[in-house]
Amino acid sequence: MAEIEIGGDVGGVVSSLTAAIRGEARRLGFDFCRALPLGQAVHADFFERWIAAGRAGEMRYLERHLDKRRFPALLGEDGPPLKSMIVLAVDYFQGALPAELANDPSRGIIASYAWGDDYHEVIRPLLFQLDEFIRAQTGRTTRGKALVDTGPVLERDWAQQAGIGFTGKNCCTIHPGRGSWLFLATLLIPEVIAYDPPPTVIEQPLFSTDDLVNGLSGAGHYGQWSIPPVAHGESNAARLATCGGCTRCLDACPTDAFVGPFHLDPQRCISYWTIESQGPIPCALRPHFGNRIFGCDICQEVCPWNRHLPARTPLLEGLRAQQDRVSPPLLEGFRAETPYWLDGDAFAVHFRRSPVKRARRPGMLRNVCVALGNWGDPVAMPALRQALADADPLPRGHAAWALGEVRRRHQIAEIGPILFERLRLETEEWVREEIDTALNVE
Ligand code: B12
Ligand code: SF4
Ligand code: SF4
C-alpha cells in the first residue's frame, strides 16, 4: 500500500488518505467504499412522512432520533464535529436458490442475506478496524461512528448519494454491475478527506414528496443518474442507472406491499412479518407467504439488474452460506434429535450467530406454522399438535390456523377434536378466536 503523506500539502494528504482508506476497506473485505461530505439526507422529508403514516409498526426504533437521521453529523454530539461519511457495501450474492429447493413446499425458504452469520456481527468489527486504521494515520484519539443498520442513518439514501448504486422502485440500492444483494454500512469521521464524485443527475426525478407518500404510478420513469466508476477499478458495465418503465418488483410482490415505487408498507411485507414483528400475522396475508419462513427476496429476484450475476463466494468468510440455513426441511426442527423449533436452548444453539435469532423461537415457530398451513400436508399434523401446545401463544394461534388449512384440504375428522381439546384449555383470547375460525373452515 502507498505511504500516506501526513504533513504534506493539504490536497495531497486528503487524497492519499482516502486512497489508503479505500485500500484498507478492500483488505478488510468490503466490496465498495466511497466517501462524501456529511450533509442532509436527501429523502428525510419522505422518511418522516412514512413514519407519521405509521409505517414503522413494531419497529419503534425508527421513530426515534429523526433529527439525527436527517443530519447524521448530530451523531457526533460527544466528540469532535463529524465531517465525512464513508459508505461501504458488501456483496453477499452467492447464487440463486435452486428451483427444486425453492419450489419444495416441505422446505422453508430463508432469505439469502441470512444464509451465513449475522451481517451486523460480521461487518461492525470491520468498521471499527477501519476507524482504527484512520486514527493511526491522523492521530485522532476519539472513535468515529461505525454503523451497520445499528443507528439512525438512512443507509440507502447515503449509498445513492455516495454513488454506490441507485435506489430502485423496490427501495433497494442497486449497483449497476453487481445488483442489489448488498449490505450497507457507514463510518462517520471528523476528518475532512477527498471525496468521490457524486452521481451525476442526467434526468431530474419529477415528483413531490406528496406524490411519493400517496403512491406514484408504477410504470413512470423517475430520474436517471450516471454512477461514477466504482472504487478499486472494477468494471462498471452499466453506467446509466435507472428502473425506467419497469414494474416487475411491484407486480411480483405476493402481498402487494408497495404503495408505489420507492414506497413500501411493511405492514404488508413478508420480510417485516417474519423478521421484525413479534405479533400475529394477519390472516389475509398468510396464504401469500408460501414457504417463506424468514425474510423475502422476491422483489429482488425478479429485478433485471440482478440477472446473470456470476455466483461467487463472499469475500467475508462469516457471510458464506451454511447449507442447513438455506432451505431447511420444515419438519426437521420438530424431531427429538433436532428440536430447534420447540426448545429455546436448541434454537439458540442451532441459530448461533445467525440473523434468524432476531425473530426469536416463538416468532420462527409462528412462521413455520404458516408455511406448514400453506403446504397443507397431513404429514405435518404431529408437528402442528406440538406447536398447538407451545408455552407461547404466538405459535399456538398459528398452529390452529394451519390445522384448519390441513382440515379444509383433506377433510381429516381427527383435527376437530384436537382443536376442541385445545380450546378447552386455551386462555388467550385471540388464540381462542383462531381455534374457533379453524373449527369453522369449510
Ligand atoms: C426498516 C428496514 C426494513 C423494513 C422496511 C423496509 C423499507 N423498504 O422501508 C423491512 C423489515 C420491510 C425490511 C426489509 C428488507 N430489508 Co431492511 N432495513 C430496514 C432499515 C433498518 C431501515 C430502512 C428505512 O429507514 N426504511 C424507511 C424507508 C422510507 O426508507 P428506505 O427503505 O431506506 O428508502 C429510502 C429510499 O427509498 C429513498 N427514496 C425515497 N424516495 C425516493 C425516490 C427516488 C427517486 C430515490 C432515488 C430514492 C428515494 O428514501 C428513503 C429514505 O431514505 C435499513 C437499515 C438502515 N438503517 O437504513 C435496512 C436495510 C434497508 N434492509 C436491508 C435488507 C437487505 C432488507 C431485505 C432485502 C431483507 C430480506 N431479504 O427480507 C428486505 C428488502 C425489502 C425492500 N424491498 O425494501 C438492507 C438493504 C440493502 C440494499 N441493497 O438496499 C439495509 C440497508 C440493511 C443493511 N445495512 O444492509 N427492511
Ligand atoms: S420483500 Fe417480499 S413481501 Fe416485501 S415488498 Fe419485497 S416482494 Fe413484497
Ligand atoms: S424490478 Fe424493475 S422496477 Fe423493480 S427495482 Fe428492478 S429495475 Fe426497478
d(CA 368, CA 291): 8
CA of 404 to the centre of ligand 3 (A): 37
290 alpha carbon, closest ligand: 2
Nearest CA to ligand 1 atom 60: 149
Q: In angstroms, what is the span from residue 142 Cα to ligand 3's centroid?
A: 41
The rounded Å distance from CA 168 to ligand 2 centre is 13
Q: Report CA Rg, the chain.
A: 24
Q: What is the pLDDT of residue 207?
A: 96
Is 178 exposed, middle or buried (CB count within 10 Å of its CB: 0-12, 13-18, 19+)? buried
pTM surpassing 0.85? yes
Which pLDDT does position 14 carry in this prediction? 59
**H or E segment and range at residue 263:** strand 263-264
CA distance 75 to 265: 27
DSSP state of 279: S
* HSE (side-chain half, CA atoms, 13 Å) at 46: 20
H or E element, residue 137? helix 119-138
Kindly give the number of the ligand 3 atom that is closest to the alpha carbon of 170. Answer: 5
87 forms beta bridges with: 34, 186
Q: What distance in Å separates the CA atoms of residue 47 and residue 49, rounded to the nearest whole number?
A: 5
Q: Which of 245, 238, 197 is nearest to 223 (CA)?
A: 245
pLDDT score for 436: 97
What are the cell numbers at 379?
A: 404429514
Task: Identify which ligand lies nearest to the alpha carbon of 115.
Answer: 1
Q: What's the rounded Cα separation, in Å, for the pair 75 and 360?
A: 30
- pLDDT for the residue numbered 238: 52
Distance CA 80, CA 190 (A): 6
Give how far the C-alpha of residue 227 lies from the chain's centroid of Cα atoms, to the nearest Å: 23
Q: Which ligand has its closest atom nearest to the C-alpha of 65?
A: 1
The residues annotated with a catalytic role in the active site are 149
- Give the helix/strand (H/E) hosting 122: helix 119-138
pLDDT for residue 314: 82
The atom number, within ligand 2, closest to the CA of 264 reads: 5
> Which grid coordinates belong to 116?
451465513
CA atoms within 13 A on the CB side of 259: 15
- Residue 245 near residue 225 (C-beta atoms within 8 A): no
Distance, CA of 378 to CA of 302 (rounded, Å): 32
Residue 90 Cβ contacting ligand 2 at under 6 Å? no
Closest atom, ligand 2, to C-alpha of 270: 3
- Cα torsion for 122, 124, 129, 131, to the nearest 10°? 160
Q: Give all domains of the chain, ordered by start, each with its CATH number.
A: 10-328 (no CATH), 353-442 (1.25.10.10)
The Å distance, Cα 237 to ligand 3 centre, comes to: 18
Q: What is the pLDDT of residue 7?
A: 28
What pLDDT was estimated at residue 313?
Answer: 83
Residues of the chain with pLDDT under 50: 1-12, 237
Q: In 63-105, at which residue ranges do the beta strands (DSSP E only) sit?
A: 84-91
Cα–Cα distance, 375 to 386 (Å, whole number): 17
Q: Is 406 in the pocket of ligand 2 (CB under 6 A)?
A: no
